[in-house]
Each structure stands twice: as C-alpha cells, then as structure tokens.
Amino acid sequence: MKNFLLNLLIGFCFIYFLFAREIGGIPYLEVIEVLIALLAIMVLCSTASEDWKRIHNELVFSFTLWFVISLLEAVNPGANILGWLSEIRPVALYPFLLIPIGFIIFKSNRQLDVFLIIIVVMSTLGALWGIKQLHIGLSAGERAFVAANPTHLIWGRLRVFSFYNDAGQFGASQASVGLITLLLALAPIKKWKRIVLLICSLLMLYGMLISGTRGALFAVVVGGFVAIILFKKIKPIFLGSVLMLGFLFFLRFTHIGDTNYQIFRLRTAINPSDPSLNVRLATQRNLREYMSTRPFGGGLGVLGFNSRFNYGQYLATVQPDSYFVKVWAMYGIVGLVIWLGIMLYILGKCCAIAWLVEDEILRFKIIALTAGFAGTLFCSYGNEVINNFPSSIVTYISWVFVFISPELQQSKKSNLLN
C-alpha cells in the first residue's frame, strides 16, 4: 500500500496543476500534502525497527539540518509568519519528509524500474499535451492561465506549459527527464524498448524546445557532460564531448534555423548580450548591496509567489527568477553557502556512487538519474525549478535510488526496463 501510494503521489505531482486549471474547486497542492502526510503516518506506524537504520545517512541528515535552519528562519524579523509558513513547505518540509519515506519504502530494482516508467510516461504525456497546446489550441482554463500570466505569450508566440505549473517548470522537467530517457535508451536492452525510449526522449526534447525556456538547454548540456564522464570510456567521452561542443558552437556562432522561433529563442540562452540576461544580472547587482547587511537573509516567503504576505518590503518587489537568488534573498549568504554545499556534496556523492556501480544495466540507470539531477540543479540558476513539482519529487526520489544502488546490485534484478 505504501509503495502504491508513493508511486501515485509521484504521478500526481506531474498533473495536479491540470486539475487546478481545468476543474478547480479544491486546493490540489494540499491534496499532495495530504498524501505526503498519509505516507508519513503509515511509515511511522508500520516500519520495523531494523528498517529505520536505512535513514541513517548523510542525505537524510543534510535535509534534517536544512529543515532546522528553515525553522529558525521563523524568527527572522524581515519575514511575515504566513509567508514563512507557506514557503517552508516546498523548500524544506517536503524533502525532509519525502527523502526518509523513500529510503524506507524503496528497496528493489523493480521499484526503481517502476519509478523510471512513471516519470518517462508522465513526461511523454506532458510533451504530447504541450504539442496539443501549440498546434491545436488551448482549453478555456489554459486561456485564462495565459491571460493571468502574460509572460507565456511573447511576441504573439505561446510559451508552451503543458499541464505543468508554468513554462519554466515544463521546459526544465522535459529537458532533464528527456536526458534520463535518452541515456536509458543507450543501455543494453531489447531493441523495441530502445526504440520506444528514443521516441519518448525526442518528444520530450521537442517539449523543451517549444516551452521557450532557454535555461532548460543547460539541463541537457550539463547533465550530458556529467553522464559522458561517468561512462568512463575514452571513445564515448571524446565523441560525446565533440557532439556537445559542436551543438553549442552551432547555437552560438551560426544563424542556421533562426527563422524557426523556438530555435531562435533557444539560441539566446548562450548570448551574453541578451537583454533578459542583463536584466537578471542587474537585479543581482542591486540585490548584492542590499543583502550585504543581511547575512541571514530577509526570511522565508519574502519574495517570489509568497511575497504577497510582505507588501511594502524591498525584497517583495524583486523578481528572483533564479532559485539560487531566491535562496540567497531568503536565507542570506550563510544559508546560500549551506544550501549550495549540500547540493554539491550530493552531486559529488551521486557521481562517486555511479562511478562504482558494476552491474551494467543498473549503472546506466544510476548515471541517468545522476545526470538528470545535475541538469536540474544547473537549470535552477536560471529558474525556480528544483523547488517545484514535479522536478522536486523526481530529484528527491532519484537521490534515494542512487544512494541505495549498492544494495540494489545485490538484490533480484527486474526485467521491466532490461
């Protein structure tokens, strides 16, 4: 039951915004929180004493520390308590609960394969829904969403958002899961499975393109480079590096495909003179002076969506765009250093684990999840990605499976993706 409920939660995190836009009536985000609470209660009530040892690891300890730091931010004089209460849930409470739940519930290769199937299927459906939006049209709920969020219509061109909460999340998620799917397709699996995965990956990469989310490009590039290195073979490293650098050269130094809006917009992602980039850099310069006297930040919820609780404050007027900037503004330079330290440690640990996995097919899966996380983390510099569903829950569960992969090598193999 716990396994089913957690898989249901992962799938629902992809589509809850579709229900919110098209049906409404109830706060669907709180449905997610109810599911998390149910899982937490079930785990607390039914977990054997020896299984609790599974959460004795640095991943759980790191997010326990982050949760405690976030609790202490309640006394930050800069933030409204309602803003703090709203913000602490996605930035600290969800990982604090979901990561230990994942360690308690997930123990087998079959569960890993089911997780991969869920994220590939839901992301493929997301790509197809986005293609529908672009080429067939928007529903009434989607038209209302675009009217309330005009940044999704630039120069009369739709930034596709599918059934995600916005185009930024859609593009970044499509890029990272598309990369995961592509890497899975390269594994030594049955031919028909490889073809299906390649088709799904191409659909997702097209979804990334039509989202108009320029930073999503770096999920593929950075995650791709991480995967290339982790394969530990000279020929793939060389060929992969040449392909990646050639693709970046094509975008930066040619104008081929500029007549296509999606390619043109993607090309601006690596243009240092892009006006949007310069606006963001100017915002960060202005923020640097303000934050120099606030080493512990302005408090949770002081900017971004929850800034509505902090009208009149300078930080409430700042558009963070970058999740790195948001963490800096809320937690200060002290909190940013701690958060970045946690993220980079996890990335390094995941790479080290993937490097040592010996089972060939499992190794492809773990490298794919590690590369997907690397891409999501880098994407979060340009957009709020890693703190929103579905990218957040995909990242948390990916960490769990990477960390338990040494024991998965010793357990019964699954043939779902083999």
For 292, residues 6+ apart whose C-beta sits below 8 A from its C-beta are none
pLDDT at 77: 84
The burial class, CB within 10 Å (0-12 / 13-18 / 19+), for 148 is: exposed
Please check whether residue 288 is in contact with residue 301, taking contact to mean a CB–CB distance below 8 angstroms. Answer: no
pTM of the predicted protein model: 0.92
What contacts 143, CB < 8 A, 6 or more positions away? none
Predicted local distance difference test score (pLDDT) of residue 178: 94
Structure token pair of residue 270: 């690596």
DSSP 157: E
Which pLDDT score, from 0 to 100, does residue 68 have?
96
Q: What pLDDT sits at residue 281?
A: 67
ω into residue 390 within 30 of 0, thus cis? yes
pLDDT in tens, the chain (418 residues): 888 999 999 999 999 999 988 887 788 888 999 999 999 999 998 888 888 889 999 999 999 999 999 999 999 887 788 889 999 999 999 999 999 999 999 999 999 999 999 999 999 999 999 999 999 989 888 888 888 888 787 776 888 999 998 888 999 999 999 999 999 998 888 999 999 999 999 999 999 988 877 778 888 888 988 998 898 766 656 665 666 666 566 555 565 655 555 565 555 555 555 556 566 667 677 788 888 888 898 889 888 777 777 777 788 878 777 899 899 999 999 999 999 999 999 999 999 999 999 898 999 999 999 999 999 999 898 788 999 999 999 999 999 999 999 999 887 777 778 7
**Number of helical (H) and strand (E) elements in the chain, helices listed first:** 16, 2
CA 223 – CA 212 distance, rounded (Å):
19
Other beta carbons less than 10 A from residue 398's beta carbon: 27
